[in-house]
Structure formats: structure tokens, C-alpha cells
């Protein structure tokens, strides 16, 4: 346990000096504030409180930003050590490879959680100050926060796996960007294209819900939007959200971090320094 | 006493390359063994196998009675990699505290350890600002953590100036006195000289020589070089008396096998006043080393 903690403390210190802590917090807080302030306009017509509407916007923000921050922090984890030449020495120490990964995860996830909590906290503070009825949106915001951390864990694990596979930071960075584009941007576009072509056939009714659950980013969006009172205020995914039971998207959110970390472990075990 | 490190018939093949072939070696407690060889001779590969970083193709390795890379072996073995590196954003002290905790030791030892390798003043500066020699010292400090029974040091003196090198070997002598075994590698025999108990020469993955410096000197049996300086004008006369000599200006260069050394000295002494000076050049350490490492390649 002490080995995991000292690894986490050292990684956190490095992230602090490399400005990753500052970058993550500034991005999350900045975007959250912008969305909170800009999202205030449509509240009147929807009949929901201000914070609930903001949560819908923050969900869309988190889907893009949390995986990106997670990958940016994690892609260097193994490949960077290999390139600097610090990996062989580390692996002769009495620390298991799982402990190395868990230590790094603890630090990186901690930073991400800090950024999420500060960002969402700001959004809540601003909303409640402007309109006391916004307190009604707090449960949704809380749900968004912890699912964001789980989404981050998924992409941090994926980043470690890519980092172990590519062995070089430049290669790992490329793979990380590819993964982000694939899961967060192109996946939905692809689904949309198939649905349009399918025109209400087998894919739309049967395969589409499974395809949404199979992507951690989509499962995250589904869970938060279908659980939130602001589902109707959100994007077109709201319709699909209604068709998929809540427990299924929750299960996807819970299983993905485990799967990603197991993949990272398997990839790291195969690294020979 | 049982040996700290036992290697028997160790062989390692990489894709198409025989990195190590049939190497056997034991290192006893308190013994310091130098591993010599060119780049690519197999020194680092052998060390990585001993540390459990890469698996052997065949053969057996026992480290402190355990298999390489096992928890028990890792607890008792310290490693200093070639061109040791650390994260540039950490200070020497922070890095060492981390390593101390990984070995379950008190992190407060960081400063005394750094002072021991002469880095007390730089402990709170970031490693990114260190010179190569200073990084090497941090590497050495981390290898001293706990009381390792075996230290595996890959070219530990590269980047160190002659004074630091001397201090470094003094430190190693302290460790071996306490019963630690040391296996260190180097490019050159001149670097390890009389500071190691035993020398092992690897060439293309094979062990080509093993023994003390004296053993190697005797078994190499390299010729002695003699430089005879003639008094004005006597050079041709001396050349006639020593037919094997090559004349270089006023001097004559002559090589002879160890066994005939005394006879040649006698001949030169008989020339009396005609000789201004005589210089005897025994085979250098470099000569002995290249004798073993190049002979194996042919």
C-alpha cells in the first residue's frame, strides 16, 4: 500500500510541476463557468431550474473534455518512463507492475476529480446564487460528477494501455488522439450515418441501443440525460435515452473503467524494458 | 559460504542474435567482479537477466538463493543502469525519498545518502539541472538504499571525473567489507584496474577470460617493449648487436617475449657506454584486454 501511495504522491508532484493540475482545473472551471452563464437564457420556457439545464450542458462538455484530459495525462505514463530510461530501474525495485499502475491512476484520477469538483462546484455556486431554486439540480450535478470521474478512469486506463503498447511518447500521443476522436466524435457520427441509411430497420431498433452502451462516452451521456430532469432540454440522444433502461447505462459506466484498467495491466505486463 | 550470485550455462538469443552463449559465473559475498567487453558484448543483457528484467533462453541464474526478479531477489539486489535517468521535474531528495519508500525504508535517510555520494548541497535542486556526473551519483545513492546483498552496476564510472572515480571505488570497498557482492561492467580494463577482485571478459556473448589481473597478465603472455636510446653515433652499432630492433632516429625499438626478457637485458647491459637510456614498457592493461577480446573474434 505504501508503494502505491508513494508512487501516487510522486506522480502528483510531477503533474503539479508540469502544470497538468493547473491546465485541468483551468479548463474545467473555465468551460463550466461559460456554460453556466451562457446557458441561463432558455430556462424560462422549459419550466426546470437553472442548474438542471446547466447539468445538461455540462454533460456535453464532460463527454468531450474529461476523456481528453484523461488521455493527455496518461499517454506518457509508461512510454515516457521507457523513453527517459527510468523504467528499467523502477522495475528492479520491489514494486509490482499493478502497483505502479494503481499509483499513477490514483494521482491522475485525483487531479481529474479535483478539476471536475472545482468546475462543477463553480457551476453550482453561480446557479444557486442567481436563483435559489437551482438547489433542485444538485442531485443531477452530483451524479454527473461521479460518473465523470468514472469516465475519466476509463480513459486513463485506456491511455496507460496505449502508452504500454506504443513504448514511445510520440506514438502513444497519436494513438490517444485517435482513440479520443474515435470514441467521442466519430463513433456518434458513424451511428448517425447508419441510422439514416437504415431508415428505422433492424439496426435502429436492435443494434443501436447496444452500440450506444458499448461506448463509454455514450453510456455516460445516456445515463446522465435519462436520469436528469433536463433530458428533454438536451440533444437528440434524449429519445434514445428513454428506450434504454437506466441500469444498463449504469452498468456500462461501472464496467468500462475495470475493463480499461485490466487492458492496461495486460499491456504493461508485456513491456520488457 | 554460499555464493550471492550463481550463473550456470546462461544462454540468451534475441531474434537471430546470440547475445549470450553458455556463460557460467559465481560471485561470493564480499567479492567485487568486473565484467568487461565491447559494446554489444552482452554485459547489459547479462545484467538484465540477473535483475529479472528479461528472461533467459536457457541456463540457470540464482540471485541470493532466489530466481531473478522474484520479490525476494528484488529486495536484496540494487541496480545502477547505464546512463541512469530520473524525472527532471523532481529534486534529488524527492527522488530518493520515493525510492526509499519503495524499499520500505525511512524516507529521512535521503539527505544522508545524498551527502554520502557528495550531493548534499544539490539535494533540493531539480534533477533536470544536474550534470551527468551528478545524475550518476543520484543513481549510486539509490543503489546504496537498505543493505543490498548484491549490487549490479552497469558502467558506473562513466561520466565521473578521476577524483570522483576514486571516491566511488572507496565506497564500493566499504560495501564489500560489509559482505555485499558487486558485479560491475566497464568498457576498459584501465578503469577497473586493481580495484576489483576478479575480472571477466565477454566477447560476442562468450566468456573469453576470467581471473585476477595477475592471472590475465600471465595467461595473455604478451611481449615486453624495450626502447633503447643510443649515445651519439652509436645507433648503427647497437642495431648490429640487436638484430631484432627497429631503428627510429636515435632510438631502437625492440619487443621480446616475457621469457627472454632477462637475456635481452643482459645483451643491452653488455653494450655499456654506447647506451644512453633504456626504457621498459610492460604490456598495458589495454593491450591485455584487446588481446582477449579480439582473439575471441577471430
Contacts of A86 in chain B (CB under 8 A): 85-87
Model confidence at A72, in pLDDT bands (50, 70, 90)? very high
Does the distance separating the beta carbons of B87 and A14 come in below 8 Å? yes
Domain enclosing residue A90, as ranges: 2-269
Model confidence at A230, in pLDDT bands (50, 70, 90)? low
| Total domain count, chain A | 1
Closest-CA residue to B129 (of B142, B138, B141, B117) = B138
Q: Would you tell me which residues 126-185 of chain B have a C-beta closer than 8 angstroms to some C-beta of chain A? A: 139, 142
Predicted local distance difference test score (pLDDT) of residue A105 = 96
B66 has a chain A CB within 8 A of its CB: no
A19 has a chain B CB within 8 A of its CB: no
Predicted local distance difference test score (pLDDT) of residue A39 = 67
Does the distance separating the beta carbons of B89 and A14 come in below 8 Å? yes
Model confidence at A65, in pLDDT bands (50, 70, 90)? very high
Alpha-carbon span B40 to B56, nearest angstrom: 17
Model confidence at B290, in pLDDT bands (50, 70, 90)? confident
Q: What does the pLDDT average to over A178-191?
A: 91
Each residue's pLDDT tens digit, B68-103 = 988 899 999 999 998 899 999 999 999 999 999 999
B139 → chain A, closest CA residue? A89
What ipTM goes with this model? 0.86
Closest-CA residue to B288 (of B216, B225, B226) = B216
Alpha-carbon span B262 to B247, nearest angstrom: 21
Residues 6+ apart with CB under 8 A from B184: B32, B33, B34, B35, B151, B152, B153, B154, B155, B156, B172, B192, B196
Q: What does the pLDDT average to over A114-139?
A: 87
* 3-state DSSP of chain B: CCCCEEEEEEEEEECCEEEEEEEEEEECCCCEEEEECCCCCCHHHHHHHHHCCCCCCEEEEEECCECCCCHHHHHHEEEECCCCCCCCCCEHHHHHHHHHHHCCCCHHHHHHHHHHCCCHHHCCCEHHHCCHHHHHHHHHHHHCCCCCCEEEECCCCCCCCHHHHHHHHHHHHHHHHCCCEEEEEECCHHHHHHHCCEEEEEECCEEEEEECHHHHHHHHCCCEEEEEEECCCCHHHHHHHCCCCEEECCEEEEEECHHHHHHHHHHHHHCHHHEEEEEEECCCHHHHHHHHHHHHHC
Amino acid at each position: 500500500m505504501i508503494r502505491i501511495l508513494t508512487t501516487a504522491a510522486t506522480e502528483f508532484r510531477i503533474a503539479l510541476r508540469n502544470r497538468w493540475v493547473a491546465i485541468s482545473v483551468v479548463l474545467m472551471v473555465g468551460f463550466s463557468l461559460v456554460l453556466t452563464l451562457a446557458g441561463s437564457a432558455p430556462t424560462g420556457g422549459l419550466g426546470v431550474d437553472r442548474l438542471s439545464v446547466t447539468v445538461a450542458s455540462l454533460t456535453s462538455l464532460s463527454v468531450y473534455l474529461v476523456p481528453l484530459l484523461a488521455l493527455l495525462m496518461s499517454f506518457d505514463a509508461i512510454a515516457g518512463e521507457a523513453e527517459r530510461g527510468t523504467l528499467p530501474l523502477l522495475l528492479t525495485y520491489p514494486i509490482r507492475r499493478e502497483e505502479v499502475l494503481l499509483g499513477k491512476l490514483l494521482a491522475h484520477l485525483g487531479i481529474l476529480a479535483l478539476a471536475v469538483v472545482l468546475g462543477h462546484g463553480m457551476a453550482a455556486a453561480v446557479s444557486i446564487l442567481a436563483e435559489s431554486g437551482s438547489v433542485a439540480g444538485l442531485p443531477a450535478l452530483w451524479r454527473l460528477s461521479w460518473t465523470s470521474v468514472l469516465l475519466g478512469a476509463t480513459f486513463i486506463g485506456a491511455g496507460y494501455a496505449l502508452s504500454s503498447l506504443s513504448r514511445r511518447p510520440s506514438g502513444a500521443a497519436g494513438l490517444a488522439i485517435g482513440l479520443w476522436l474515435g470514441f467521442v466524435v466519430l463513433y456518434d457520427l458513424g451511428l448517425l450515418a447508419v441510422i439514416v441509411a437504415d431508415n428505422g430497420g433492424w439496426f435502429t431498433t436492435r443494434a443501436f441501443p447496444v452500440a450506444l452502451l458499448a461506448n463509454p462516452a455514450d453510456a455516460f451521456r445516456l445515463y446522465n440525460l435519462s436520469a436528469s430532469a433536463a433530458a428533454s432540454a438536451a440533444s437528440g440522444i434524449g429519445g434514445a435515452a428513454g428506450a434504454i433502461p437506466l441500469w444498463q447505462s449504469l452498468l456500462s459506466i461501472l464496467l468500462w473503467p475495470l475493463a480499461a484498467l485490466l487492458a492496461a495491466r495486460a499491456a504493461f505486463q508485456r513491456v520488457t524494458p | 559460504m554460499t555464493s550471492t550470485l550463481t550463473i550456470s550455462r546462461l544462454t540468451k538469443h534475441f531474434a537471430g542474435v546470440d547475445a549470450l552463449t553458455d556463460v557460467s559465473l559465481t560471485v561470493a559475498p564480499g567479492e567485487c567482479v568486473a565484467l568487461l567487453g565491447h559494446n554489444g558484448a552482452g554485459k547489459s543483457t547479462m545484467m538484465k537477466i540477473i535483475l529479472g528484467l528479461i528472461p533467459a533462453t536457457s541456463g540457470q541464474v540464482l540471485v541470493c538463493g532466489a530466481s531473478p526478479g522474484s520479490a525476494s531477489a528484488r529486495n536484496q539486489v540494487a541496480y545502477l543502469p547505464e546512463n541512469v535517468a530520473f524525472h527532471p521535474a523532481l529534486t534529488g531528495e524527492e527522488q530518493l525519498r520515493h525510492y526509499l519508500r519503495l524499499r520500505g525504508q525511512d524516507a529521512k535517510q535521503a539527505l544522508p545518502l545524498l551527502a554520502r555520494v557528495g550531493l548534499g548541497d544539490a539535494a533540493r535542486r531539480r534533477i533536470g539541472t544536474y550534470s551527468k556526473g551528478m545524475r550518476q551519483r543520484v543513481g549510486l545513492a539509490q543503489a546504496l538504499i537498505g543493505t543490498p546483498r548484491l549490487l549490479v552496476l552497469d558502467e558506473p564510472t562513466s561520466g565521473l571525473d578521476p577524483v570522483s572515480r576514486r571516491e566511488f571505488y572507496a565506497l564500493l570497498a566499504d560495501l564489500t567489507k560489509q559482505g555485499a557482492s558487486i558485479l560491475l561492467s566497464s568498457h576498459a580494463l584501465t578503469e577497473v584496474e586493481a580495484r576489483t577482485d576478479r575480472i571477466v571478459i565477454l566477447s560476442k556473448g562468450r566468456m573469453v577470460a576470467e581471473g585476477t589481473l595477475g592471472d590475465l597478465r600471465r595467461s595473455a603472455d604478451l611481449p615486453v617493449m624495450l626502447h633503447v636510446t643510443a649515445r651519439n653515433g652509436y645507433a648503427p652499432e647497437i642495431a648490429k648487436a640487436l638484430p631484432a630492433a627497429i631503428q627510429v632516429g636515435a632510438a631502437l625499438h625492440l619487443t621480446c617475449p616475457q621469457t627472454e626478457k632477462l637475456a635481452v637485458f643482459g645483451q643491452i647491459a653488455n653494450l655499456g657506454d654506447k647506451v644512453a637510456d633504456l626504457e621498459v614498457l610492460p604490456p598495458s592493461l589495454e593491450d591485455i584486454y584487446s588481446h582477449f577480446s579480439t582473439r575471441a573474434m577471430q
